[in-house]
Amino acid sequence: MTPETVVNFGRQAMEMMLITSAPVLMVALVVGLVVSLFQAVTQINEATLSFLPKLVAVVVTIVIVGPWMLTMLTNYIRQVIGSLATVAGG
C-alpha cells in the first residue's frame, strides 16, 4: 500500500464525514442562531431555552435524513472494503 493510497482513503473518509454530518450541523446552527436572536430581542437568558430547540431539531433532522446518511455510509464502506482487497493484494 503506497502513501498515496493511504492519503486517498483518509481524504475520502473526511469527505464522507463532512457530507453526512453537514445537514445535522447546519440545522443545529440555524436553530441556534434563531434562538439566540429570540433571546437577544426578548432579553430572556435561559440556558435550557437554547438547548431544547436544538436537540429537537437535531433529532427530527436525523429521523428525516438518517436513511440517506446510512445509505451513503454503507456505500462508502462497501467501496473501501472492495478496494482494500485490490490495494493490499498488490
Per residue in 40-54, pLDDT (tens digit) is 898 888 877 888 999
Q: How confident is residue 26, by pLDDT bands cut at 50, 70 and 90?
A: very high
Q: In terms of DSSP H, where are the helices of 1-90?
A: 3-42, 47-89
The mean pLDDT value for 24-40 works out to 94
What is the C-alpha separation between 47 and 59, in angstroms, rounded? 19
pTM beyond 0.85: the answer is no
- C-alpha cell belonging to residue 10: 483518509
Counting Cα atoms < 13 Å in the Cβ hemisphere of 85 gives 5
